[in-house]
Amino acid sequence: MRIAFLTAPEGVEQIELTDPWQAAAEAGHEPVLVSTESGEIQAFNHLDKADTFAVDEVVGTATADTFGALVLPGGVANPDLLRTDERAVAFVKAFFEQGRPVAAICHAPWTLVEADVVRGRTLTSWPSLRTDIRNAGGTWVNEQVRICDHGPNKLITSRKPDDLKAFREAFLDVFAAARG
């Protein structure tokens, strides 16, 4: 299955991109780096610049219907930049409209809030997003990973890099079931 990994041009937390990416590839999926600009993205290790990664497809050209699932890595700046880009928000919303699974970690649910897809859902995130999620009509829980199947698709969320093992296991199980 082709899996879109959506990031802004800078600010993605490197481990929250590379760890799920490697897990998806090892499980036989095809991870695809989608961004709002072509070229490369700049990853970070918390606030320090880390590696760069080549963008495979650009939002606006890439469409949700060419992917089986979506992964939203975190980092503070990454989802904050994505939620201000109308094309990125529409791209995320399309996965929900098409009933495709979505996985988001750490601060990534900010983009989900902007896409107006958390209403009626239960999810987890970095704790500072709790109020934003509640204000958007979602229920926030403090758990390693949460799978919510409210609506036609499943939403897998996780809090932070320390939860990556649980996050990987959960989204790989959901993606495998979606692949059939």
Match 């990853």 to its residue by tokens.
Answer: 43
The two three-digit tokens of residue 177, written as one number: 């079931």
Six token digits for residue 106: 């750490």
State how many domains the chain has: 1
Distances (CA, A) of 124 to 9, 36, 45, 93, 132: 25, 25, 22, 18, 12
Domain that holds residue 129: 2-179
Positions annotated as catalytic residues are: 106-107
Q: Walk along the chain (180 residues) in steps of 10 and give the mean pLDDT of each run.
A: 98 98 98 98 96 97 97 97 98 97 98 98 98 98 96 93 98 91
CATH number of the domain where residue 45 is located: 3.40.50.880
DSSP 3-state of 86 = helix
